[in-house]
Amino acid sequence: MNTVNDTDLQQRAWHAASQVVDPEIPVLTIADLGVLRDVAVSDGHVEVAITPTYSGCPAMNMIALEIELALEREGIRNPKIRTVLSPAWTTDWMSDDGRRKLRDYGIAPPQVGSGRRALFGDQHVACPQCGSIETEVLSEFGSTSCKALWRCKSCREPFDYFKCH
């Protein structure tokens, strides 16, 4: 076992895995989302730990497959993908950069502090198009498990809001 090589391999593997994007929201990488938990190397074998987001999110299977492909492209053979449930993923793990990218893409980012207060208190979600906070919820459930459907009362545009979880 060579420690220097393992460290190098770990960094290459992390870099490759961290570039994988969410198939539904291709502006966000799994690193932005906080889905990528850990990349471990042992005896030249790479194991990537990811955490599921919403319980029923169908993107998770796709993400695991994309990680394998990304590592294979990097010349890393037979990587193992492990799913870690605990601690449970929360939207609070989304990076600031991820939140900015989401807003630029037209999706209002989740509010920070996704406790029950955020779920049930008054929500003030700014319109990702015009920035107005004169917005209203159209439906708690949107096009994917992670999104709700909102509408801006100022610019009249509908938009997706990435729900707190």
Q: Which residues bind another protein (CB under 8 A)?
A: 52, 54-58, 85-89, 114, 116, 119-120, 138-143, 145, 149, 163-165
| Pair of tokens at residue 89 | 């993923």
Least Å from the CB of residue 84 to another protein? 9
Q: For residues 66 and 79, what is the distance between their CA atoms, to the nearest angstrom?
A: 12
Smallest gap, in angstroms, from Cβ of residue 67 to another protein?
Answer: 19
C-beta neighbour count of 163 within 10 angstroms: 22
Of the pair 42, 139, the CB lying nearest another protein is at 139
SS (H, E, C) 58-74: CHHHHHHHHHHHHHHHC
Q: How far is the CB of 36 from another protein (least distance, A)?
A: 17
- The Cα 53–Cα 35 span in angstroms is 7
Residue closer to another protein by CB (options 19, 81) is 81
